A and B are shown apart, each in its own frame.
Chain A
Amino acid sequence: MKIHSKTLGTIIAIVIFGGILGASAMGLWKTESVRNPNSVQRNQSIGEAAREDTITGDYYPADIRGNHRFGEISEMFDIPLDILSYAFALPADIDPATFKNQDFESIYPEFEGEQEIGNGSVKWFVALYTGLPFEFEDDEENTYLLQPAVDILKNHTDLTAEQIAYLDAYTIEIEFEQVEINTAEDGADNNEEETVRKQDEMVVAGKTTFADLMDWGLPVEKIETIIGGDIPNHLMLVYDYCAENGLPFGQIKAKLQVEVDTLNP
């Protein structure tokens, strides 16, 4: 059989677009990933009571965009501005009311890539804080929260044990010193807390694989002692291993972190 260029071109277009359409019809065409689909869904609401209190109009966390200012988000979701500022450890010289989500890159350049603080982090925080439903988008799969945000969520909301464990897996632990700053904008002696961040690059977190631990110098034997078994595959997430084997990720993570810190002082 001989084939003409017009036929070949048509077949190429049909196979590609027909294949995509067919895959879409079968629900297989997914251009986004749900992180750890077998673990706790991060879009779980945190209770009807919280939701009733916080639903404001028709806004949902998914509506939050990179060009939204913290001031707007505060109004949209009825979250105090100082809570947002503290949660995301905004430096004192930045006005939280005018700070845009897309500006995270400039203040947290180190939190790019595998552990990202950005628009997705704000959406996630708002969702958990308000109890509103939310799903991550494609480029938000590496989204993390800073420790202050997680502390607020743990203290302010009724998170389940599973949700807390999940949050712990996606927390960037930062050391921060609280510094009193006189804002004095309204003539009052209001103080805000400034957070000074120090990032530890070798942080055991939800996206850490056994391969990462080995890269950081941990011997296989040491890892296997801590997890109490053989490493099934070096590409596996430590978090997934713990979930599959019913191990407390928080404790395992802490033990591994101690070893990592010892090896990399």
Chain B
Amino acid sequence: MLIYTLKRLLQAIPTLLIVITISFFLMRVAPGGPFDGERQLPPEIEANLMAAYHLDEPLPMQYLRYMGNLLQGDFGPSFKYKDFSVTELIAQGFPVSLEIGGLAILLALIIGLPLGIAAAIRRNSTVDYVVMGTALTGIAVPNFVIAPIFALVFGVLLGWLPAGGWNGGALPNLVLPVVALSIQQIAYIARMMRASMIEVLGSHFIRTARAKGLNEGEVIWRHAIRPALLPVMSYLGPAIAGIITGSVVIEQIFGIPGIGRYFVQGALNRDYTLVMGTVVFYGVLIVLMNLIVDLLYSALDPQIRYDD
């Protein structure tokens, strides 16, 4: 198991190199630079800026410089947020995204799994239709529509919860963003759980269990749920990685200081170092999440062993 883990981590290195290289050069060939803005700068001043950030060097030089710094764990200073290094920004933004995203996934599991199971057991009943209909509505409405509606209705018109802001992660500030972020996840998880439950319930060993005279509740609890969770598990790894970096819309609408916005803002502002930093960080995150999921998978499914 340990050897397998190490091997996987080693394999991740070339992958990350590819990611870094592609992103680095894509970013640099993009038209526009970090200092292109409403105020056009006099040539002298622009030259000063370029020199200050080593942007006047040839591109391969810049690449080597970046890689060199990266090896020392230095993501460099942000172009836009000049008083902070990229490392500081990620260290500040990631926990926030993790909290929002983690809670949203948790909520989605707590609500989505039972719904999916119920729908599968009562397949083609009213319960099934209602659950799946609601789930599909959740999928069909983009969260950049849901989030502003939440903010307006519950934040402004009803005044029940803060309409935005982070406030150090205070509970009332968490509710709306987490719920808005989890709605689609609830829907996905419910659908997936339903599908895999149906599959498991139709399999031979469940039939055998029934034939042995176990009652239905026992069949479901003891035998069906665990294997049915496997596909949901493999969904969760990337979903977690995605949701914590990807709640861009939610972060923007609720003014939450997370990491997702850094990437989008960085890409749009040509904040080269910030974009690269988030890409590298995210690449590592994916590798780790996949690894964790695979390891958990083997824990849940005794048929899978990693000996190689």
Q: Do A and B come from one complex?
A: no
Q: Which residues of B pack against A, CB within 8 Å?
A: none
Q: Which residues of A pack against B, CB within 8 Å?
A: none
